[in-house]
Each structure stands twice: as structure tokens, then as C-alpha cells.
């Protein structure tokens, strides 16, 4: 039965033994091409605490067979350069009388909106040598953040003077060159980084979440 003009790739993630370096269950991608499909995409921009994200939502009709009917929420569809992570398992559409007409799935693909990224500067730190002396800093690198969320701001007054503290939460791409202890300059403030990986099933949602604590004044 004719469904549509599109050809897509099913990304079927078969489970395998063990876990990866981040403790996530290992899976092996199996790619199967399917013609006679129909892909409809709607795009919205969502404003989030750590930056704007373009969300591409796909409604996909597929031919009825064992591969398409077995799709689950851990699988994906690749089409036109994007990978749409499925938001639910496959649904087989049926008539009141006769065979099933098609398999329907829904997926989403997310990507940061580059126009809203913020420029930060990361200065690598390398700890101390065997004598306890600080090692020289690395070369500062400009890194675009997905977004910046200003956190707590406090001022303290005491015998040693005024202490101004600011915390920022900065979201970076997962492969950004920043690690614990590096110095990050964000919005004119320098602070030390604490880095955590935010991992999701959907790879395009995974990111580094960095807390930058900046302190000026006092002693």
C-alpha cells in the first residue's frame, strides 16, 4: 500500500552485555532502510533555563513489517540528516476490515539555537607539582555555552572587607574542553568549575552542566 515518498533508516538499538564508561547499558545499533514512508516535521523553539533549544517533532508513517512493528522508545529514525529519538513504541494502524495500513511512530530531535549561545573562556588548570607549587595555566580557550543560568548572589561584610560571591550554572556540549578545577570566565566574572555530565537516552539532550563559583574581595 502506498504511504509516502520518503526513505528513512530505522536505528534499532539491540541490547548487549555490560555497561559503558558512564554506566549506561550497552546497545548495538542496527540500521535498516525503509522506503515507502512519510515524514512530517514541526519545529518549535523552547526557552529553557540553560539556553534556547530547537525541537523538531516528527510524525512518521512506515510500512507494516516485523521491523517497524517492533520499534520501541529506545530506538530512533534517521531522516534528512537528523536522528529522531522515538518518544513511544510503534502503533499499528488498522482498518475496521482488512489488513493494517501502516505503522506510526513519533520522534523528536533537539539542537541548541546557536544564535542564543554565550561566549565563555576556559583556562585549563593542572594542579600542583611534587613540591606543592601551582603548575602553569594552559592556554585560554573560547568555548560557546548552550546557555547560562545565574544562580545565588551574595555580599558579605566583615573585618576583612566586602566579599562578593556569584554562582553560575553553565551548560556546554558534552565534548566541551572543560574539567573540574579549570577557571571559567562568564559574563565578566572568573570562577572555578565543578563539572557534571547530564546524560539522557537522547544523545542530543546530553550535556555538561558546570557550576562556576566566583568570589571577589575579602581575604
49-107: pLDDT as tens digits: 666 788 999 999 999 999 999 999 999 999 999 999 999 999 999 888 888 999 999 99
Residues 129 and 198 in one domain: yes
Residues 132 and 163 in one domain: yes
Q: What is the pLDDT of residue 22?
A: 75
- Decide if 1 is inside a domain: no
State pTM to two decimals: 0.67
Contact 124, 138 (CB under 8 A): yes
User: How many whole angstroms separate alpha carbon 2 and alpha carbon 62?
Assistant: 10
Query: Of the ranges 40-49, 72-81, 161-170, which one carries the lowest mean pLDDT score?
Result: 161-170
**SS3 category, 11:** strand
Residues 54 and 78 in one domain: yes
Residues 105 and 124 in one domain: no
Q: What is the pLDDT of residue 131?
A: 82
Contact 38, 5 (CB under 8 A): yes
Output the domain CATH number for residue 167: 2.40.10
* Burial (0-12, 13-18, 19+ Cβ within 10 Å), 62: buried
Domain boundary among 81, 113, 145: 113
Residues 33 and 60 in one domain: yes
User: How many whole angstroms separate alpha carbon 166 and alpha carbon 140?
Assistant: 21
The pLDDT of residue 218 is above 60: no
Domain boundary among 113, 129, 154: 113
Residues 92 and 142 in one domain: no
User: How many whole angstroms separate alpha carbon 105 and alpha carbon 72?
Assistant: 9
Percent of the chain with pLDDT over 90: 47
Q: Which domain holds residue 95?
A: 6-113
31 forms bridges with which residues in the sheet? 11
Domain boundary among 83, 113, 143: 113
- Decide if 169 is inside a domain: yes
Cα–Cα distances in angstroms (integers) from residue 197 to residues 34, 56, 180, in the given order: 35, 24, 11
Amino acid at each position: 500500500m502506498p504511504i509516502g515518498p520518503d526513505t528513512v533508516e530505522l536505528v534499532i538499538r539491540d541490547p548487549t552485555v555490560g555497561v559503558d564508561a558512564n554506566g549506561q547499558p550497552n546497545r548495538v545499533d542496527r540500521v535498516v532502510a525503509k522506503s515507502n514512508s512519510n515524514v512530517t516535521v514541526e519545529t518549535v523553539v523552547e526557552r529553557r533555563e540553560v539556553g534556547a533549544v530547537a525541537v523538531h517533532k516528527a510524525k512518521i508513517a512506515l510500512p507494516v513489517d516485523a521491523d517497524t512493528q517492533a520499534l520501541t522508545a529506545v530506538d530512533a529514525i534517521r531522516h534528512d540528516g537528523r536522528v529522531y529519538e522515538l518518544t513511544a513504541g510503534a502503533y499499528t494502524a488498522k482498518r475496521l476490515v482488512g489488513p493494517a495500513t501502516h505503522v506510526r511512530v513519533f520522534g523528536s530531535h533537539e539542537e541548541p539555537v546557536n544564535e542564543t549561545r554565550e561566549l565563555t573562556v576556559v583556562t585549563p588548570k593542572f594542579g600542583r607539582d611534587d613540591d606543592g607549587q601551582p603548575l602553569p595555566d594552559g592556554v585560554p580557550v573560547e568555548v560557546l555555552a548552550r546557555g547560562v543560568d545565574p544562580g545565588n548572589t551574595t555580599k558579605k561584610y566583615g573585618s576583612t572587607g566586602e566579599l562578593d560571591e556569584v554562582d553560575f550554572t553553565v551548560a556546554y556540549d558534552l565534548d566541551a574542553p572543560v574539567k573540574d578545577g579549570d577557571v571559567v570566565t562568564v559574563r565578566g566574572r572568573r570562577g572555578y568549575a565543578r563539572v557534571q555530565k547530564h546524560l539522557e537516552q537522547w544523545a542530543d539532550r546530553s550535556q555538561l552542566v558546570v557550576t562556576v563559583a566566583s568570589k571577589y574581595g575579602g581575604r
